[in-house]
A and B are shown apart, each in its own frame.
Chain A
């Protein structure tokens, strides 16, 4: 299934609060800015509620959020569904022993890290980020969790850019998004 709950009346309000900033971070990119959504408490709450309603009865014990905007949405979801929150970070930010997963960027590569021991074998996990574009970061996130023995139940994002076909990079893992942007 592609987009989120088109029939849910809250989606329209959420979409209207997302600001598109042209030519950021470079010319030609239409940047999807969620900070304006965070300024509208009702819409921000609706966003979290939509995810919580979907996941609260799915026995999810781990919500993993991708630095840094995944840190804004992940923890409220984790708290509401009784799960732990695991931050997935850029290199050298996490202080303890970490495992790393490299992923390809348009030019070069980057790396995502997770604390060893944060996730246990057999845990059911959700990966959260504000947006999925090419799917490279989400894919690295899933690999980290799977390497630690967790089962990734779903990836959850507010926004999908379907033209970039990120969904296809998730190796068949389900993706749930609230809004699409073409």
Chain B
């Protein structure tokens, strides 16, 4: 669901957030219009508004886990977690997490990749939100959901700053 399709569509913060994102053509390869959120991070007011909008949505939803996808999910997730009193779980590329992990493979355009989570980070029955900067095909988010559900958590929602509707 896009915020612009809900009661938030009149929210002036949305337009500012949109304008703070920089589009870089042909990165990482020709034909891709890369959505660069680093320019949003340079604008304190807009960065704060972005976090606040997520916090407003999740603070009363009994969320005890915010899972952020490496690496840009790390830039948004922890602030949201802190504001709603939830724990933050980093979901990482292989071999980065030092303890015992569970893994979930997912498809890339060419080949596969893998997302890992620490065993014991999440308890059965916890309600979780997954955060990333952007959703394209949904492959990474899908792997994240599977990791959390595998340990018995309920994924209440996935939250991204940017959605690319053409990818569904």
Contacts and interface: CB of A to CB of B under 8 A. Distances in A.
Contact of B87 (A31, A40, A72, A87): A40
A125 B44 CA distance: 14
B34 interface: yes
A85 B75 contact: yes
A21 B99 contact: yes
| Chain A binding surface SS class | mixed
B98 A76 contact: no
Given A38-B89, A72-B88, A79-B48, A84 B74 contact: no
Contacts of B168: none
Contacts of B44: 78-79, 82-84
A12 interface: no
Interface stretch (A89-97, A142-150, A157-165, A174-182): A89-97
Interface residues of B, number: 38
| Chain B binding surface SS class | mixed
B99 A71 contact: no
A72 B78 contact: yes
Which of A25, A33, A38, A89 has the most CB atoms of chain B within a 10 A radius of its CB? A38
Contacts of A68: 70-71, 74, 90, 92, 96
Given A35-B121, A85-B41, A72 B28 contact: no
Contact of B74 (A19, A72, A96): A72
Given A25-B95, A38-B88, A96-B36, A76 B82 contact: yes
Contacts, number: 106
Interface residues of A, number: 38
24 contacts: A33-B99, A35-B89, A35-B121, A38-B88, A38-B90, A39-B87, A41-B81, A41-B87, A44-B81, A45-B82, A48-B82, A68-B74, A68-B90, A75-B47, A79-B44, A79-B48, A79-B79, A82-B44, A85-B41, A95-B27, A95-B28, A95-B34, A95-B36, A96-B22
Interface of B: 22, 24, 27-28, 34, 36, 38, 41-44, 47-48, 51, 70-72, 74-76, 78-79, 81-82, 85-90, 92, 95-99, 118, 121
